[in-house]
Amino acid sequence: MAVRKKQRLADYGLNSERVLWRGKGPGVFEQELAPLEDRLMLSTVDKAVAWAQGSSIWPDTFGLACCAIEMMSIVSSRYDIARFGAEVFRSSPRQADLLIVSGRVAHKMAAPLRQIYDQMLEPKWVIAMGACASSGGMFNNYTILQGVDKIVDVDSHIPGCPPRPEALVEGIVRLQEKIKAGVPPAYEIRGVAS
C-alpha cells in the first residue's frame, strides 16, 4: 500500500499537503521498502503494514450531534473501543487516522469538515456514522448536507438514528477487516465526490 504511486490526491487536484509541497516524493520508509517489496512479491510486508494500520486506528474527535453522544459511549468502559485498537481519540486531525463523522452536517459546517479532512495525513479513513451523515437522515432541507460523501470519501456508512454503540463498533471492526484485507482507503478508489 505504501508504494502504490498511481492515484495520488494531487492527481485529483486537491489542496492537500503533497500538492503544496511539490518536491515531496516517496519518503525514506517507502524508498527503503521498494526494493525489498519487489523481492518479496509485495505480499508479506504489505500484509504486515496493513495489519499494523488496521489494528491501531485512532479516531478524531469530530462529534457533531446526537451520534456524538453514542460515540462517547463507545469510549466508556462498557463498549470499550480501546480493545479494538482505537486507544485514544486524538483532537488534532494531524494525529488521527479515522474521521468518524457523527451527526448532521450543516452547510455552514461543511467547510470546517473538509478542512479537517484535508489536514489528516494519509492513509486516512472516514466513517459516516448515522443516518444524517450517510444521507442527510430525516432532514431533507435547505441547511443539511445530504450525505457527507458529497464532500469527503467515505469508507463505511453506519445506519441508525443514532446507531447503537455496538453498531458503531461493528462498523469499526468491519473497517479494520477491510484494511487488513488490503482494500485501499476510499480516496484512492473513488476520487473526491462520487
Partner 1 sequence: MAVTERPRIYEGSRIPSPIPSMLVLPEELRGSDEILQVNFGPNHPSTHGVLRLVVDLSGERVVGLRAVIGYLHTGFEKNMEQKTWWKAITYAPRVDYVSFQNNELVFVLAVEKLLGIEVPPKATWMRTLLAELNRIHSHLVFLGTAALELGAISMFWYCFRERDQILDLFEMVTGSRMHTRYYQVGGLAEDIPKGFDPEARKFCEWMPKAIDEYETILSRNEIWLERTQGIGLLSADDAIALGQSGPVVRASGIDWDLRRDEGYLSYPEVDFDVPVYPNGDVYDRYKVRIDEMRQSTRIVEQCLDAMPEGPWIADDRKVVLPPRHELHTSMESLIHHFKIVTEGFRVPEGEVYVTVESPRGELGCYLVSDGGPRPWRVKFRAPSFVALEATATCMSDALIADFIAIVGSLDTVMGEVDR
Partner 2 sequence: MERREAYDETTLVVDPARLLEACRFLRDEEGFDLLSDITAVDYLGWGEKGVAGYFGTAAGRDLNAPGEQGASVHSQGFGRSPEPKPARFAINYHLLAVVPGAPRVRVQIWVEESRPVPSVIEIWPTADWHEREQFDLMGITFEGHPHLRRIIMEDDWEGHPLRKDYPLGGEPVRFSGDE
Site string for partner 2, 125-164 (x = CB under 8 A): -----------x--xxxxxx-x------------------
- Minimum Å gap between C-beta 64 and partner 1 is 6
Site string for partner 1, 82-101 (x = CB under 8 A): ---------x----------
**Nearest CA-CA partner of 145 in 115, 102, 193, 108:** 108
What span, in angstroms and rounded, lies between the C-alpha atoms of 73 and 110?
A: 25
Contact in structure between 86 and 98 (CB atoms under 8 Å): yes
Contact in structure between 149 and 128 (CB atoms under 8 Å): yes
**Residues 6 or more apart in contact with residue 28 via CB below 8 angstroms:** none
Instruction: Pick the closer one to partner 2 by CB: 150 or 164.
Output: 150
Instruction: Pick the closer one to partner 2 by CB: 50 or 144.
Output: 144
Among 9, 46, 59, 70, binds partner 1 (CB under 8 A): 70
* Dihedral angle over CA of 177, 179, 181, 185, nearest 10: 130
Residues binding partner 1 (CB under 8 A): 61-66, 68-70, 72-73, 75-78, 91, 103-104, 106, 108-109, 112, 116, 138-139, 141-144, 161-162, 164
